[in-house]
Amino acid sequence: MKIFVLSIRPEEKAQRTGGACFDILNVPVTRLEPIPVDYTDLIRSGVDCVAFTSSYGVRLFFKNAPVKNFRYFGIGKSTCEEVRKYGYDCEYPEKMDSEGLADMIISHCSGRKVALIRSANANEIVNEKIMGHVDFIDLRNYRAVNTNVDLTPYMAKEECMGIIVTSSMEAKIAMPAIKATGKPVYSIGSVTTKTLEEAGIHPAISGNSDFVDLVEKIKKYLCLV
CATH (domain of 191)? 3.40.50.10090
Examine the fold and report which residue of 85, 119, 145 is the final residue of a domain before the chain moves on. Answer: 145
Exposed, middle or buried: residue 110 (CB in 10 Å: 0-12, 13-18, 19+)?
A: exposed
168-181 and 190-198 are packed helices; what angle lies between their axes, rounded to 10 degrees? Answer: 40
- Residues 113, 53, single domain; the answer is yes
Q: Along the 225 residues of the chain, how does pLDDT read in single tens digits?
A: 689 999 999 988 877 776 679 999 999 999 999 999 989 878 788 999 999 999 999 999 999 998 889 999 999 998 999 999 999 999 999 988 899 999 999 999 999 999 999 999 998 999 999 999 999 999 999 999 999 999 999 999 999 999 999 999 999 999 999 999 999 999 998 889 999 999 999 999 997 767 888 898 999 989 875
SS3 42: helix
Domain encompassing residue 86 = 33-145
Give residues with Cβ within 8 angstroms of 114, minimum separation 6. 47, 48, 49, 50, 51, 105, 130, 134, 135, 136, 137
Nearest to 152 by CA among 6, 3, 4, 2: 6
What's the pLDDT at 210? Answer: 78
Secondary element (H or E) of residue 4: strand 4-7
Confirm if 139 and 65 have CB atoms less than 8 A apart.
no
pTM of the model: 0.85
Where does a domain end: 107, 123, 145?
A: 145
101: closest CA among 81, 121, 124, 84? Answer: 124
pLDDT recorded at residue 27: 97
Which of 122, 145, 168 delimits the end of a domain?
Answer: 145
Q: What is the pLDDT of residue 174?
A: 97
The total number of structural domains that make up the chain: 2
Residues 64 and 8 in one domain: no
